[in-house]
Amino acid sequence: MFSAQINRYLQTLRLPELKIEVTPLMNKDSLEMTAEDREMISGCSAGACGGGPPVVITHGTDTMVETGKLLKGKISRLRHPIVLTGAMGAAGV
């Protein structure tokens, strides 16, 4: 469901030449995220930033700072930005 919602939003963009790849990792309340969840986000983000395009992570706002700090500590050389943005709605909605 979550990927379908993201894809619907992306289809409204008027950027026909832009290629966007969506990688769903999890769909859970950020208060329920574990250290392993954050490590998974870090690993996927680091792999994408090794010369790839910018990364946008939708994340619950309650613990977004914790994930951002982990990313900052784990990924030292960025060629493109990693953007953390508040999620579109609560996981239960």
Q: Do 72 and 43 meet the contact criterion of CB atoms below 8 Å apart?
A: no
What pTM value is reported for the model?
0.77
| Domain ranges within the chain, ordered by starting residue | 34-93
Q: Which residues contact 43 (CB under 8 A, 6 or more apart)?
A: none
SS3 label, residue 90 = coil
Q: What is the pLDDT of residues 21-34, one digit of tens each?
A: 888 889 889 999 99
Average pLDDT over residues 7-22: 85
- With beta carbons less than 8 A apart as the criterion, state whether 38 and 64 touch: no
What is the per-residue pLDDT across 38-75, written as a single tens digit (0 to 9) for each? 999 998 887 766 567 788 998 989 999 999 999 999 88
